[in-house]
Amino acid sequence: MPEYARALVWFRRDLRDFDHAALYHALKRSRQVVCAFIFDRDILDMLPDPADRRVAFIHASVTELQQALAARGGGLVVRHGVARDEVVRLAAGLQIDAVFFNHDDDPAALARDAAVEAALHAGGIAVHHSKDTVLFERDEVLTAGGTPYSVFTPYRNAWLKRLTPFDLRAYPVDAYADRLTPQSSAIPSLQDIGFAAAERTLPTGMAGGAQLFEDFLDRIDRYRETRDFPAQKGPSYLSVHLRFGTVSIRQLAAAAWQQGGRGAQTWLSELIWRDFYHQILWHRPDVASGHAFKRQYDALPWPNPPGHFEAWCQARTGYPLVDAAMRQLNQTGYLHNRLRMVAASFLTKDLLVDWRLGERYFAEKLIDFDLAANSGGWQWAASVGCDAQPWFRIFNPVTQSERFDAQGTFIRRYLPELARVPEKFIHAPWTMPAAGQQRAGCVIGRDYPAPIVDHAVQRGLALALFRQAAPALK
């Protein structure tokens, strides 16, 4: 027998009506279930761009979620306000006995959820929360000594050893869907919540996630060979759907695990990286507030030369692959994973700019921004994090360009000013003779910037910078 007469499911970064832990538990344990989503002003009011692609993605996905729940006989109550107040107000007004939601381990979300839970308990309302965003979380994968892993490979091995078919099973929401109530409300428009429509570069909602996943499964066998080449259709493009939960991590991991093969195994490893960074954030929340995982690097004296960060943001470094990457980010909100590493390495190791500035810029621009992965990735590239790129290994932006965009296809796509530059010079156009520059309609310093720095010189400066913080590694 259900133990609650009426429960509320609070949707957050889990915008789907299937294989949903909190929704399943609420339905199984309650006679009636109301669903709700809050456009949280604590988050939205801090976003500087009214055309923020993430808000537009969420808005479209919430609209689809409401329609999907209605098709099941349910509904979705949508509010715009401070979530920690709105949830408590809704629960009281709807005479809710228990509130169910899924974990979010971002420190700000944990503080919000603790405040909501305390207020609900004070009102005599039960609270239940569940793991849903990752396969294994928090303390589920630890070393033999009971400590969190800080190196990925042993974490991955322990993760795989622990994985069973049960961990990949979908929550059977359908079995209890008749307990959904048709409680619903109008969804405020983007304009109502202070935002404007943004250009869509990826399909939204559960339908968009399913479409991309189906397309990727046809290509997954080639993933290992194609994933590093930005001009090719190699990635899954599912990162934003994972971020907002319009797909199920269990569904994705199960498909990769069952399919096997080098491509599927490589992709599964990247899903495990996601779990790894989330458990790092849980155990070391300080990494989310500008602290390096390796605390000896906190006081690293980054030179931050004037103008370098701005040139990087504005795609004016004179290094084509870096600039094409930043154009892709600025124009679409998406950035190919290999190019995230190249751009981050260039900012920190070539321009000698503090990684925290780059991390914040990505946080503003990326449609798939995830605090755990963004912090982890930037610290990896800057050699200050867990399992980091060794500080004495520094990406050469020209070599990276030659290797991963050999014909310059991606570069020309985002840097049309280089469209007529011959393949021989596309990776380092400043080496093109003056006559060739005239023929290509790309005079360096006029049509495209000269290199902002000399990589060889900057490499030496970066090594010297890190030796100050790691004298034992000389």
Q: 314 and 355 in one domain? A: yes
pLDDT exceeds cutoff 60 at 473 = no
- Tell me the mean pLDDT in the region 255-261: 93
Domain count, the chain: 3
pLDDT value, residue 223: 97
pLDDT exceeds cutoff 90 at 469 = no
Residue 182 falls within a domain, yes or no?
no
- Tell me the mean pLDDT in the region 263-275: 97
Note whether 385 and 293 are within 8 A (CB). yes
Q: 332 and 221 in one domain? A: no
CA distance 82 to 89: 11
- Tell me the mean pLDDT in the region 49-75: 97
pLDDT exceeds cutoff 50 at 332 = yes
pLDDT exceeds cutoff 60 at 474 = no
For residue range 206-226, what is the model confidence (pLDDT) as tens digits? 999 999 999 999 999 999 999
pLDDT value, residue 121: 98
Assign residue 275 the CATH number of its domain: 1.25.40.80
Q: 217 and 271 in one domain? A: yes
Residue 26 falls within a domain, yes or no?
yes
Lowest mean pLDDT among 70-84, 120-134, 288-302, 362-376: 288-302
Domain end call among 132, 161, 196:
132
- Tell me the mean pLDDT in the region 277-290: 95
Residue 140 falls within a domain, yes or no?
yes
Residue 474 falls within a domain, yes or no?
no
For residue range 127-167, what is the model confidence (pLDDT) as tens digits? 999 999 999 999 999 999 999 999 999 999 999 999 999 99
| Burial readout 431-470 (b: 16 or more C-beta within 10 A, e: otherwise) | ebeeebbeebebebeeebbebbbebeebbeebeebbeebe
Q: 314 and 384 in one domain? A: yes
466 contact partners, CB below 8 Å, separation of at least 6: 300, 383, 391, 392, 473
| Burial readout 286-298 (b: 16 or more C-beta within 10 A, e: otherwise) | ebbeebbbbeebe
pLDDT exceeds cutoff 70 at 380 = yes
For residue range 402-435, what is the model confidence (pLDDT) as tens digits? 999 999 999 999 999 999 999 999 999 999 999 9
Which residues are known catalytic residues? 270, 273, 302, 337, 355, 378
pLDDT exceeds cutoff 70 at 1 = no
Domain end call among 108, 132, 156:
132
Q: 267 and 146 in one domain? A: yes
Strands (E), 41-85: 77-81
Q: Which domain holds residue 458?
A: 295-469
pLDDT value, residue 471: 54
Q: At 30, which helix (H) or strand (E)?
A: strand 30-40
- Tell me the mean pLDDT in the region 275-303: 94
Domain end call among 283, 308, 343:
283
- Tell me the mean pLDDT in the region 449-461: 98
CA distance 283 to 27: 31
Q: 436 and 399 in one domain? A: yes
Lowest mean pLDDT among 42-46, 134-138, 233-237, 469-473: 469-473
pLDDT value, residue 275: 98
β-partners of residue 444 are 448
pLDDT exceeds cutoff 60 at 173 = yes
Q: 127 and 148 in one domain? A: no
pLDDT exceeds cutoff 50 at 241 = yes
Residue 302 falls within a domain, yes or no?
yes
- Tell me the mean pLDDT in the region 444-451: 97
Assign residue 88 the CATH number of its domain: 3.40.50.620
Residue 241 falls within a domain, yes or no?
yes
Residue 355 falls within a domain, yes or no?
yes
Q: 331 and 435 in one domain? A: yes
243 C-beta neighbours (distance < 10 Å), count: 21
Q: 451 and 389 in one domain? A: yes
pLDDT value, residue 468: 83
Q: 151 and 83 in one domain? A: no
Q: 59 and 126 in one domain? A: yes
Assign residue 369 the CATH number of its domain: 1.10.579.10
- Tell me the mean pLDDT in the region 32-52: 96
Q: At 143, which helix (H) or strand (E)?
A: none
Residue 96 falls within a domain, yes or no?
yes
Q: 408 and 464 in one domain? A: yes
